Amino acid sequence: MSTRLDAQFAFLLEADKLRGIERQNLIIDCSRRENSAEHSWHLALYALVLAPFAGPEVNVFRAIRMLLLHDLVEIDAGDHPITDEVDWDAVAKSEQAAAQRLFGLLPKDQSTEFLKLWQEFETSESPDAQFAKRVDHCQPIFQTLYGAKPLDWHIDVVRQNLHGGRAAALEQDLPEAYHHALDLLEDGTGYDCSPLTARLPFLNEADKLKLITRASKLGDGSRHENSAEHSWHIMLYAWVLAEHSATQIDADRVLQMLLLHDLVEIDAGDTPIHGAVSAEALAAKAEEEESAAIRLFGMLPQEQGAPLLAVWKEFEAAQSPDAVFAKSIDRVQPVLLNLLNGGGSWVDYNVSLRQLDARVGGKVSRGAPDVWSFVRAKVEPWFREAGRL
């Protein structure tokens, strides 16, 4: 068990480096470039919300898993914007080697699973992969066209992409996206895009999660993480560690919970687990978060927003097996980041091992006791050396 967990955490901690890969696209407020981790989270949300546009043969949650891992190869191979003059055959070879190395960190069975899924996305021959590709092609377009102050040359890239580039396929594969993009470029065709435009305000609003700063720092300590990339990382954690759940779970429902769980921070902000917060303040925060959830999911058509709100509420209640495990994973990831970066929020909030056991250990043990036993053994020497038992 320990050897298997060692391999799983080796992969998960290496995956943290995807946050350092910057893309050409700006986030929607145009304040900075997007990184590949938060991009992967946003794509997963796009796939969930655009599920009504997938064919009946598409397993949307397999597509979501593809999107969670598709850009991991950029840790080694880098990002290559479509405007770059590069040797694409060389890029493909570099990415294949990266996939072999990164997924090879996992136990053999998971390594094979992840590599096959990544390759399926790359070849884009299955219905699931084709849907994932459509999502990957349309999200950057709308992130640019709805941007607060998009760069003129970024608009030009979108136009070129729609007329002869990768996104040209959207005309057949996701016509609502293709024609709405033309509308935004003032090249409208009169096509009815309302099924899509009813959902885009929610997806655009969700982009603000990339601006919510958390108490935890990245593994390299270079900056604090944001809640969008955090959500991506814990979805990856839940996928890899699902076998360690204390009870039987539906891993896809867990991924859905973790995809959505922090969206309320757009309105309510983040609440550091080690911050000194009174019971009254926590109750007020819970009310604020519920109001945020009602507002945000209310931006979607009722038939879609209501079920997603119910999933969010289930996660918050933490009573179902899926929610208990999701809560466990939400707690364990920052512990490993703090260990990597020399203490992080433990230093900032003067945390002792006893406090960590009380605030984190109990919740992780409830859903994944073997994971907490493993993680606690890893962090105890840090607390002992720091005199914080």
The string of pLDDT tens digits covering residues 171-198 is: 999 999 999 999 999 988 899 999 999 9
Phi-psi region of 2 (alpha: psi -120 to 50; beta: other; left: phi over 0): alpha
% of the chain beyond a pLDDT of 90: 87
The string of pLDDT tens digits covering residues 7-26 is: 999 999 999 999 999 999 99
Lowest mean pLDDT among 275-289, 313-327, 373-387: 275-289
Q: Which class is 2-206 in CATH?
A: mainly alpha
Measured CA to CA, the distance from residue 356 to residue 372 in angstroms comes to: 11
The enclosing H or E element of 127 equals helix 127-145
Q: Does residue 145 contact residue 184 with C-beta atoms inside 8 Å?
A: yes
Measured CA to CA, the distance from residue 242 to residue 100 in angstroms comes to: 22
User: Cα torsion for 200, 172, 255, 233, to the nearest 10°?
Assistant: -80
**Mean pLDDT on 60-88:** 93
Q: Does residue 120 contact residue 126 with C-beta atoms inside 8 Å?
A: yes
Lowest mean pLDDT among 88-92, 196-200, 255-259, 367-371: 88-92
* Token code pair at residue 66: 């593809």
The string of pLDDT tens digits covering residues 96-139 is: 999 999 999 999 999 999 999 999 999 999 999 999 999 999 99
Measured CA to CA, the distance from residue 70 to residue 386 in angstroms comes to: 39
Q: Is the pLDDT of residue 39 over 90?
A: yes
Phi, psi of 299, rounded to the nearest 5 degrees: -75, -15
pLDDT reported for residue 328: 96
Residue type, 188: G
Measured CA to CA, the distance from residue 139 to residue 142 in angstroms comes to: 5
Confidence of residue 365 (pLDDT cuts 50, 70, 90): very high
Quote the mean pLDDT of the chain: 95
Confidence of residue 1 (pLDDT cuts 50, 70, 90): low
Q: Does residue 73 contact residue 122 with C-beta atoms inside 8 Å?
A: no
Q: Is the pLDDT of residue 278 over 80?
A: no
Measured CA to CA, the distance from residue 388 to residue 366 in angstroms comes to: 24
Q: Is the pLDDT of residue 81 over 90?
A: no
Residue that the structure tokens 């005309």 belong to: 171
Instruction: Return the number of other C-beta atoms located less than 10 Å from residue 302's C-beta.
Output: 9
Q: Hey, is 24 helix, strand or coil?
A: strand
pLDDT reported for residue 276: 61
Q: Which class is 246-386 in CATH?
A: mainly alpha
Count of residues making up the chain: 389
Domain positions in the chain are: 2-206, 246-386
Query: Hey, do 2-206 and 246-386 end up sharing a CATH topology, with the first three levels equal?
Result: yes
The string of pLDDT tens digits covering residues 313-359 is: 999 999 999 999 999 999 999 999 999 999 989 998 999 999 999 99
Residue that the structure tokens 């998960």 belong to: 12
Measured CA to CA, the distance from residue 246 to residue 359 in angstroms comes to: 19
> pTM, whole model, 2 decimals?
0.97
Phi, psi of 125, rounded to the nearest 5 degrees: -105, -25
Q: Is the pLDDT of residue 277 over 80?
A: no
Q: Which residues pair with 224 in a beta bridge?
A: 217
Q: Hey, is 214 helix, strand or coil?
A: strand
